Structure 1
Amino acid sequence: MMIWQSILLVIVGLAGGFVVGSGFVAFITVLDIVPRLTQLIKGFKYISWFQRALIYGAVTFTWLDFRGIVLNLPSLFSLIFGAFAGMFVGMLAAALTEVLNVLPIFAKRLNMANAILFLLMAMVLGKVTGSLFHLLVYIDK
């Protein structure tokens, strides 16, 4: 591979990483996951701990994924990790249901109040298409 191709590959890889990272941060910020979590458990003095845990978790598991490291831990660890992952997904799903309340306002401002069904179907079909593409094309390689 020529040097300019390697440089271009590095630039595109970094740009993609910045986009995904920015999207993740924007998603977490828009959903107010950390402030809502601290509000629910009345742990405002621990908000910096929640923020650090979110950052360290994302960086650690990204690094493990890049290195291809597989943790062969006992079943008990899988149970604990699965419980925490399930809690996170549950909180994320609850936050997403609150975000869905924004869609009617968004559609009204775009003068698309009659097309809310089409907006929802576009979101659902986009998600299904992306998931199928990932499952059928990307994983087989």
Structure 2
Amino acid sequence: MLKTIYLIFLGLTSGCMVAAGTFAFIAAIGIVPRMAKRTETQRFIRVYEDAIVLGGIWGTTAMFIRYRLPSVPLLPGCYALCTGIFVGVLAMALTEVLNVIPILLRRTRLTKGLPWLILAFALGKVCGSLVYFLVDGFYVL
């Protein structure tokens, strides 16, 4: 009995630490303020932050609780779109913070075609995601 209580406590505290690290990482690279500034929706920053926290809580509990979602035809597509947007924004924010693109341009001496390079990165990510989801199967509901 004591061992079970210890394991539950250890699991909860470890999960809280990982979640805190993830949210600290998201806050440190400044996704929310940067996206709010670019979309000129600074007045909704609290809503964005609440949505990230609620999404994290829902995603964590979805590992343990089998939620029954309504059978709406567009729901899996909306879920995939929102997940893709989040992952893309996170990757681009991390890239911007680490100055990967300027370093890449300096080392390759690329002076023209930057929009095409970024488009190629994005299309490669989309193609890889499609292959992953279509070949391995995609089961949301």
Q: TM-score range by the shorter chain?
A: 0.5 to 0.7
Q: Deviations over 1:20-51 (max 9, x none)?
A: 11111111111111111111111111111111
Instruction: State how far apart, in whole Å, the 2-side matches of 1:15 and 1:88 are.
Output: 26
- Indicate the SS of the match to 1:74: coil
Q: TM-score, normalised by structure 2?
A: 0.63
Q: Percent identity?
A: 35
Distance in 2 between the 1:29 and 1:8 partners? 31
Residue in 2 aligned with 1:101?
99
Alignment partner of 1:15 out of 7, 13, 16 = 13
Offset, 1:72: 5.9
Number of equivalenced pairs: 100
Gaps of 5+ in 1: 103-141
> 1:95, CA displacement in angstroms?
0.9
> TM-score when scaled to structure 1?
0.63
Distance 1:85 1:58 in 2: 12
Q: Which runs of 5+ in 2 are unaligned?
A: 101-141
- The residue that corresponds to 1:44 in the other structure is 42
Bigger relative CO (Cα 8 Å, ≥ 6 apart): 2
What is the RMSD computed on CA atoms of the aligned residues?
1.8
- Give the Cα–Cα distance (whole angstroms) in 1 for the partners of residues 15 and 98 of structure 2: 27
The amino acid across from 2:80 in the alignment is G
Q: CA deviation at 1:61?
A: 2.6
